[in-house]
Amino acid sequence: MTEATRDIQPVELLINGIPVRAEPQMTIVEAAWAGGVPRVTGVGCLEGVCGSCRILVRRGKEVNVALGCETFVEPGMEALFLPAPGTPRHQYQLTELADGWDIQARFHEIFPEASRCRHCHGCVKSCPKGISVEEGVKLAAAGHYREAGEAFLECVMCELCDSACPEYIAPAHVGLFCRRITAFFHLRPPNLIHKLEELKQEADKKEQP
């Protein structure tokens, strides 16, 4: 053991209201387990992938949200594990979409609130993965599903952005929808769709007597 190691002091913090003394290199999840905090239902992968260890973090007057497995303990920090998200409000079946041309109308039927973004940036600030959530929703509302899906590639469906949205847009589910339909239909890019529409219209004119 080195001199530096001997001098390391434990970190004191509150997790779910319970005082915990943790080693400085521990994450909130590790500190909760080591400190005897009752096991939190849904905390799973410990690799920042499943998105289930959602926490509310208070540092003095500052309050944020994060993932417990990606947040290191800090002196005086207060962490509260949030309950798991409820059942998604937006229901749909990919097989109900007749073809790629039907997506735009169906998207706005499924997510009518997606075009009401206030640009408050709450979704961006709450995302633990640094995703440009607001831009992704904007792309989806404009019909750029491939680009929107790519914007949400790192999304782990923790749904912290959903909780932060005053318009109840559910950005995580908008991103999931875009990723699903891109894979399901092997979507053509918007500029190609527009070009094909022009070619189809020209062909229709030629067939007219």
- Kindly state the tokens that stand for 180: 């699903």
Residue-by-residue pLDDT tens, the chain, 209 positions:
555 555 789 999 999 999 999 999 999 999 999 998 887 666 777 888 888 899 999 999 999 999 999 999 999 999 999 988 877 788 899 888 877 678 888 999 999 999 999 999 999 999 999 999 999 999 999 999 989 999 999 999 999 999 899 999 999 999 999 999 888 877 666 666 667 777 878 888 887 76
Those residues whose C-beta lies under 8 Å from the C-beta of residue 183, and which sit 6 or more positions away, are none
CA nearest to 82, candidates 107, 106, 109, 56: 56
CB 178 within 8 A of CB 152: yes
Type of residue found at 23: E
pLDDT confidence of residue 189: 61
pLDDT confidence of residue 42: 63
Q: What is the CA radius of gyration of the chain?
A: 23
Q: In the block, which residue shows the tokens 């909780």?
A: 163
- Kindly state the tokens that stand for 124: 């961006």
Degrees, nearest 5: CA angle 147-108-193? 45
